[in-house]
Copies of this chain bind each other. A is one copy, B any other.
């Protein structure tokens, strides 16, 4: 009988390959697969579109360790039918995304985005610069998972009052109060900052729409670093045109890369970043902490010890 395969969608440093082999000595490790090998993959680290169909047809596939936190791009129904375990990379990007959000907020409040543009014109814009203070603001984190908790911790220490939204409104440490997602529109009018960090599910699709935008303070800021399709892009464009709130920053989009002809590019009251908020230094170390912990428990008893995704829920 051939050895089962651990397929790695991307390259990892030799030190990590050695650790994998030590924990799972009976497995072969592959970063490319021929047709026969496709039938022997038991563990897939990352998910390759190229191999998707073949892997799903293989009876050997038992566990997929996603590299990303979001897993809505994966064939969750088929994983469920075939009882394939799924774990995600949640937490790896938390610190980066938290730093990104704080950076975006202070760029706006301290007039830095304006200053960058003025510098290109050699323009000393002291009199027209917009400025405000982050400390003292009310911030609503929509999605109180790993990233939301890291953000809460960091930005609380800068004097921001942090509230949270999650599915049921269950309390989470570090949030002054948490509300159920059904109450989103009710809470929004009191907030200076609304940050979307939601996974892509049926419930979250287009949840940030005109109902929400119209209720925001005129001076408010909206940031999305969750899934692109949690934002109703057309209604956001209307909100930006009508200045329903003051400033938005999007790192994710319904279509990526954002097409050249998309009207979003033009707004002065919108900062576009090209899906970079999660980019993180020491990625391999952070990812391997999760994967190796899971590999150990999987080898021992076919269970995952961290970051297992509930397939029905989708996160």
Task: Using CB atoms and an 8 Å cutoff, list the residues of chain A in contact with chain B.
Answer: 95-96, 99-100, 102-104, 106-107, 109-113, 115-120, 122, 124-126, 129, 131-135, 154, 157-159, 256-258, 260, 265, 271-277, 279-282
Q: Which residue of B lies closest to A281 (CB)?
A: B133
Q: Which residue of B lies closest to A278 (CB)?
A: B131
Whether the Cβ atoms of B110 and A277 lie closer than 8 Å is yes
- Among B117, B118, B131, B272, contact of A279 (Cβ-Cβ < 8 Å): B131
Seed contacts A115-B273, A131-B280; 11 additional CB < 8 Å A-B pairs: A99-B135, A102-B106, A104-B112, A107-B112, A110-B273, A110-B277, A113-B116, A117-B120, A126-B274, A126-B275, A158-B158
Which of chain B's residues have a CB closer than 8 A to the CB of A154? 157-158
Whether the Cβ atoms of A276 and B110 lie closer than 8 Å is yes
Whether the Cβ atoms of A110 and B115 lie closer than 8 Å is no
Whether the Cβ atoms of B126 and A95 lie closer than 8 Å is no
Known contacts A129-B276, A273-B112; A258 and B124 CB within 8 A of each other:
yes
- Could you list 23 examples of A-B contacts with CB < 8 Å? A99-B133, A99-B134, A99-B135, A99-B158, A102-B102, A102-B106, A102-B158, A103-B107, A103-B109, A104-B112, A107-B112, A110-B276, A110-B277, A111-B276, A113-B116, A115-B273, A115-B276, A116-B117, A125-B274, A126-B257, A126-B274, A129-B276, A133-B281
Question: What is the oligomeric copy number?
Answer: 2
- Among B107, B122, B277, contact of A265 (Cβ-Cβ < 8 Å): B122
Docked CA distance A124–B102 (Å): 22
Whether the Cβ atoms of A109 and B115 lie closer than 8 Å is no
Whether the Cβ atoms of A276 and B116 lie closer than 8 Å is no
Docked CA distance A115–B270 (Å): 11
Docked CA distance A122–B271 (Å): 12
Whether the Cβ atoms of A133 and B276 lie closer than 8 Å is no
CB distance from A153 to the nearest CB of B (A): 9
CB distance from A130 to the nearest CB of B (A): 10
Whether the Cβ atoms of B109 and A271 lie closer than 8 Å is no
Whether the Cβ atoms of A119 and B272 lie closer than 8 Å is yes
Whether the Cβ atoms of A96 and B133 lie closer than 8 Å is yes
